[in-house]
């Protein structure tokens, strides 16, 4: 049986972070050369997550929000209701023999999918060298971070974790951390920028952009 050329898209709904984290690792443990790649669309209850490079001191005051250590790259971030989270469960060897080289291209593809999704709502944004994620490029919110990403790439080229895009959420918890390890980094969501979009619309739009860019 041939493997689909585009990742399968699964909507997991509102799900505790720990449940998704365990499921991602279990899926990756069990996958074989015949396992289709998948994109998981998820919304999480409030949670702070720490990447492998995270300094716990960047969690300034969790205010009773759980803090979870993970095996993704990067620093501390926040997930909560109204945020579009998409996890990428991929086998990079299907794209290039050297999965490590494709990892850089993968990050670029993820960031471009976010940029293209936001452009459809007339929101101009950009990358920042050395600071993975997407930032507003003009207006009163210039420099504010609207999307974050962090991946785990195993030695066999299989990935999990992914990208989060702030759609319509309570941004207050971001002020209780140094987002991605940066003191006083402003964060923003689409709603605050005047975008009239439901979470479901943005989830599906971003998943579509990612799926097409990752098709072989």
List residues with catalytic annotation. 180
| 17 to 20, 34, 65, 81, 118: CA distances (angstroms) | 5, 27, 12, 12, 25
Beta-strand runs (E) in 59-115: 67-69, 76-79, 83-89
- Secondary structure (3-state) at 110: helix
Q: Please give the distance of CA 164 from its chain centroid, rounded to a whole number.
A: 3
Buried b vs exposed e over 80-89: b needs ≥16 C-beta within 10 Å? bebbbbbbbb
- Locate tokens 């949670």: which residue? 47
């Amino acid at each position: 049986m041939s493997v689909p050329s585009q990742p399968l898209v699964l909507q997991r709904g509102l799900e505790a972070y720990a449940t998704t984290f365990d499921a991602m690792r279990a899926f990756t443990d069990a996958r074989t050369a015949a396992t289709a790649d998948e994109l998981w669309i998820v919304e999480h209850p409030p949670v702070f997550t720490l990447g492998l490079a995270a300094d716990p001191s960047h969690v300034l005051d969790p205010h009773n929000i759980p803090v979870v250590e993970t095996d993704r790259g990067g620093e501390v971030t926040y997930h909560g209701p109204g945020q579009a989270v998409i996890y990428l469960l991929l086998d990079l060897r299907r794209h290039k023999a050297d999965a490590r080289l494709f990892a850089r291209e993968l990050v670029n593809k993820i960031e471009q999918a976010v940029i293209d999704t936001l452009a459809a709502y007339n929101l101009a944004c950009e990358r920042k060298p050395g600071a993975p994620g997407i930032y507003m490029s003009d207006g009163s919110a210039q420099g504010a971070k609207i999307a974050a990403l962090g991946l785990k790439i195993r030695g066999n080229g299989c990935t999990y974790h992914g990208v989060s895009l702030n759609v319509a959420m309570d941004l207050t918890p971001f002020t209780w951390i140094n987002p991605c390890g940066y003191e006083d980094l402003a964060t923003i969501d689409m709603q605050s920028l005047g975008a009239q979009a439901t979470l479901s619309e943005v989830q599906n739009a971003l998943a579509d952009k990612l799926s097409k860019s990752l098709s072989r």
